[in-house]
């Protein structure tokens, strides 16, 4: 195969993986902590995208400075509200939570459809992001790296690094990991698990909102964009291993590259199917994902 084409596919795969990773991080966090499957998580991505659109409308070219805080805070608040009103009432009933959050995602999608219409709203990237790095000479002559995609990759690397630090080096992270291992024991040692649940959930939603900013830069935002990402994001969580941030990172890369490569070799719909089936096969080999957490408390549930 042509090396330029191949590298191009890999690069695209990397940028897709970056968004997937940002979406999956929040899922991995809340799934690890609360064993909760939030089907409305994709809609945080969508809302982040629409908030970016609004920021661009309000601010013109310099909108990114507003878009990031707006998307993060907006979706985080919505996440906290969702946790408070629905999810905490369903604690210990993961399958029911899944259904309820799916319902919420339907409502959010329909609301977006009525407010913004069902066709995508475009966001024009600022001028400094609209160029591309082009390789001259050598085997990779002509290979282009669009700035927007580079930006998204850097963004998600930064967020991943931040999350890793937060979880592994900060007191907050220590509490999260403690509850992850054994909720009852952590609670009896004085960790306020309810507040922690809400914080983590809001944080995960906020990160998805940030991913929405990246998404809006890459393609128009429409009401079903979240739904398009959610299944893959879940697969990232499953492949990565419950609640593991690094696992999610590795899995997102793996899935992103596999899809991009398969797309290069066959049609995109076949690639998607192949990827989904590969995941199921992978789970035969490692049913607990790449980075499983071993704990007696986890095992019994």
Partner 1 sequence: MNRSAQTVLIGVAALALIFAPLYLGAYSLTLLGRVLALSIAAIGICVVWGRGGILSLGQGLFFGLGGYALAMHLKLMATAKGELPDFMVYNGVEALPWFWKPFVSAPFALLMVLILPAAAAGLIAWLMFRRRITGVYVSIITQALVLAFVTWLNGSQGLTSGTNGITDFQMFLGINLRGESVARGLYWVTLLILGLCLAATALLLRTHFGAILTAIKDNENRVRFLGYNPAAYKIAAFALGGLLSGVSGALYTLHLGTISPAMIGVTFSIELVVWVALGGRSSLIGAVGGLILGNLAKDKISSAAPDAWLYVMGGLFVLVVLVLPQGVAGLLNHRRVRRTVPSVRREVKEVTDIA
* Contacts with ligand ATP, residue ranges (CB under 6 A): 294-296, 299
Question: Which of the choices partner 1, ligand ATP, none does residue 294 contact, using the CB cut-off of 5 to 8 A by kind?
Answer: ligand ATP
Where does residue 35 rank: exposed (0-12), middle (13-18), buried (19+ CB within 10 A)?
A: middle
The reply to whether 107 sits near partner 1 by the rule CB under 8 A is yes
Angle CA 181–187–192, to nearest 5:
110
Question: Which of the choices ligand ATP, partner 1, none does residue 2 contact, using the CB cut-off of 5 to 8 A by kind?
Answer: none
**Structural Rg of the chain based on CA atoms:** 19
**Binder of partner 1 out of 104, 121, 125, 163 (CB under 8 A):** 104
In the bound state with partner 1, the residue whose beta carbon lies nearer, of 35 and 147, is: 35
Shortest gap between Cβ of 35 and partner 1 (angstroms)? Answer: 7
Question: Which of the choices ligand ATP, partner 1, none does residue 191 contact, using the CB cut-off of 5 to 8 A by kind?
Answer: none
Site for partner 1 in 205-264 (CB under 8 A): 227, 231, 234-235, 238
In the bound state with partner 1, the residue whose beta carbon lies nearer, of 171 and 190, is: 190
Site for partner 1 in 167-196 (CB under 8 A): 182, 184-185
Q: What kind and span of H or E run contains 44?
A: helix 41-59
Which of these segments, 53-61, 167-175, 256-264, 271-279, binds partner 1 (CB under 8 A)? 271-279
198-210: buried (b, 16+ CB within 10 Å) or exposed (e) per residue? bbbbbbbbbbbbb
**Binder of partner 1 out of 1, 95, 115, 127 (CB under 8 A):** 95
Distance CA 32, CA 27 (A): 8
CB 45 within 8 A of CB 209: yes
**Binder of partner 1 out of 114, 118, 192, 219 (CB under 8 A):** 114
Please give the sequence-ordered ranges of beta strands (E in DSSP) within 120-223, or none if there are none: 132-134, 144-146
CB 75 within 8 A of CB 205: yes
CB atoms near residue 221 (< 10 Å): 25
129-163: buried (b, 16+ CB within 10 Å) or exposed (e) per residue? beeeeeeeeeeeeebebbbbbbbbbebbeebbeeb
Coil, strand or helix at 210: helix
The reply to whether 98 sits near partner 1 by the rule CB under 8 A is yes
Shortest gap between Cβ of 183 and partner 1 (angstroms)? Answer: 10
Shortest gap between Cβ of 43 and partner 1 (angstroms)? Answer: 11
Question: Which of the choices partner 1, ligand ATP, none does residue 94 contact, using the CB cut-off of 5 to 8 A by kind?
Answer: partner 1
Give one DSSP letter per residue of 79-103, joined into a string: HHHHHHHTGGGGTT-HHHHHHHHHH
Q: Which residues contact partner 1 by CB under 8 A?
A: 31, 35, 37, 86, 89-90, 92-100, 102-107, 109-110, 114, 182, 184-185, 227, 231, 234-235, 238, 267-270, 272-273, 276-277, 279-280, 283-284, 287, 296-297, 300-301
């Amino acid at each position: 195969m042509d090396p330029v084409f191949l590298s191009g596919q890999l690069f695209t795969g990397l940028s897709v993986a970056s968004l997937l990773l940002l979406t999956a991080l929040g899922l991995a966090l809340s799934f690890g902590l609360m064993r909760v499957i939030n089907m409305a998580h994709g809609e945080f991505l969508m809302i982040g995208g629409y908030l970016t659109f609004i920021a661009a409308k309000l601010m013109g070219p310099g909108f990114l400075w507003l878009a990031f805080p707006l998307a993060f805070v907006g979706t985080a608040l919505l996440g906290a509200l969702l946790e408070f009103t629905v999810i905490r009432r369903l604690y210990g009933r993961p399958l029911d939570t899944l259904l309820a959050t799916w319902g919420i995602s339907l409502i959010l999608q329909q609301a977006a459809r009525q407010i913004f219409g069902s066709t995508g709203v475009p966001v024009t990237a600022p001028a400094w992001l609209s160029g591309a790095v082009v390789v001259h000479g050598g085997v990779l002559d002509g290979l282009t790296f669009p700035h927007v995609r580079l930006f998204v990759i850097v963004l998600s690397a930064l967020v991943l690094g931040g999350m890793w630090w937060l979880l592994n080096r900060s007191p907050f992270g220590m509490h999260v990991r403690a509850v992850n291992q054994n909720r009852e024991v952590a609670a009896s040692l004085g960790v306020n698990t309810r507040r922690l649940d809400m914080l983590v959930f809001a944080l995960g939603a906020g990160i998805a909102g940030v991913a929405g900013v990246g998404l809006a830069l890459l393609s128009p935002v429409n009401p079903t964009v979240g739904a398009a990402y959610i299944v893959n994001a879940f697969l990232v969580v499953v492949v990565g291993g419950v609640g593991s941030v690094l696992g999610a990172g590795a899995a997102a890369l793996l899935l992103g590259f596999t899809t991009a490569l398969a797309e290069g070799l066959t049609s995109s719909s076949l690639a998607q199917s192949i990827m989904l089936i590969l995941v199921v096969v992978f789970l035969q080999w490692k049913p607990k994902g790449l980075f499983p957490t071993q704990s007696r408390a986890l095992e019994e549930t």
